[in-house]
Amino acid sequence: MKYRQLGDTDLKISELSFGTWAIGGSWGKSDDTEALKGLERAMDAGVNFFDTADVYGDGHSEELLAKATKGKEDKIFIATKFCRAGDIFDPETYSEKAVTAYCEASLKRLQREAIDLYQIHCPPMEILKNGQVFEVLDKLQQQGKIRHYGVSVETVEEGLFCLDQSNVKALQVIFNIFRQKAIPELLPQAKAKGVGLLARVPLASGLLTGKFTTNATFEADDHRNFNKDGEAFNVGETFAGIEFSKGVELSQKLNWIAEGRGNMARAALRWILDHEEITTVIPGFKTVKQVEDNLQATEVPSFSEAELKKLTDFYAEEIHPNIRGVY
């Protein structure tokens, strides 16, 4: 496993880490025993960073991480998020009282004294511009409840705004072959300002595994069913904002990326890792097999300049016009 510095913080984290939304909830059936085995397998392979949120299974993924990392708290870093358990448009959700309560509840579930990276969970731009939440996070940092803080954003504009906030140390962004808008401006500015980047939705909710057909179905409690057109939250969080059948069609045109790299999923993760500005990529998982497969992305060949240009052109010509929502 290779490690990258999280911006200018003291955290050196595995370049391939894991998100825990899928094992918490909203991705169909999951099995806690299998989830814990998956977390263990990841740590055995050198993964030392996991991303979660207080709303993943109403705190369930935080509780699973507490079990998996017990006794390893000084070696395994955890990032969690807050605000979506409340009304994200209400300034009171970001008050000192509310954020402190969210933080302490997460600490209790994680069974930790401090959160390594505490992130605002996709707040509206007007909340960011208000600035109150950053002052609250500064206080929590001074109190020792959090080590560093960052923001999970939906748009490049939000990300660029957050880079101007002096104590924001990390941005979490949707970044994958289907979502390349961050490349020309956000990535280099984050690097220049010493801000780490976490790449989420790296496989476009599974589209970039190449395993789906247009007649695929998803369970009722899977966001790929209930949020497929942005009915529950930002449409970009599901299939990277692309209508499912169109996404399947586009992914089939990309099957060439798997050549020499095992499969499309490993290749798609490798493409992200080939961007040096990215600190870590955080695919989700529900099984040990998925963990093991994703881990192999760190070993497959990087993309050539010709291949990168081909993917850039494909994005501009065929993908970008099909992305829905503001991003």
Instruction: State the CATH number of the domain containing residue 64.
Output: 3.20.20.100
Reply yes or no on whether the pLDDT at 43 is more than 70. yes
| Residue 230 or residue 137, greater confidence | 137
- Residue 116: pLDDT band with limits 50, 70, 90: very high
pLDDT tens-digit profile of 48-84?
999 999 999 999 999 999 999 999 999 999 999 999 9
19: enclosing H helix or E strand: strand 18-19
- Residue 24: pLDDT band with limits 50, 70, 90: confident
Would you give the end-to-end CA distance of the chain in angstroms? 32
pTM: 0.95
Looking at the structure of the chain, the number of domains it has is: 1
Give the per-residue pLDDT at 221: 85
Under DSSP, is residue 33 helix (H, G, I), strand (E, B) or coil? helix
118: enclosing H helix or E strand: strand 115-121
Q: What percent of the chain has pLDDT over 70?
A: 99
Residue 234 maps to a domain = yes
Q: How many CB atoms lie within 10 A of CB 230?
A: 14
Q: How many CB atoms lie within 10 A of CB 188?
A: 12
- Tell me which residue of 180, 192, 202, 310 sits closest to 257, measured CA to CA: 310
Residues in the chain: 327
Residues 6+ apart with CB under 8 A from 111: 66, 70
Residue 63 maps to a domain = yes
**CA distance readout (Å), 118 to 53, 134, 145, 264:** 9, 11, 9, 32
Reply yes or no on whether the pLDDT at 27 is more than 70. no
Residue 327 maps to a domain = no
Residue 288 CA to its chain's centroid (Å) = 19
Give the per-residue pLDDT at 30: 77
Give the per-residue pLDDT at 26: 65
Residue 115 maps to a domain = yes
Q: Note whether 276 and 262 are within 8 A (CB).
A: no
Give residue for tokens 């070696």.
Answer: 75
How much is the average pLDDT of 224-251? 93
- Give the residue numbers spanning the domain of 307: 3-322
Q: What is the mean pLDDT of the chain?
A: 96
Residue 145 maps to a domain = yes
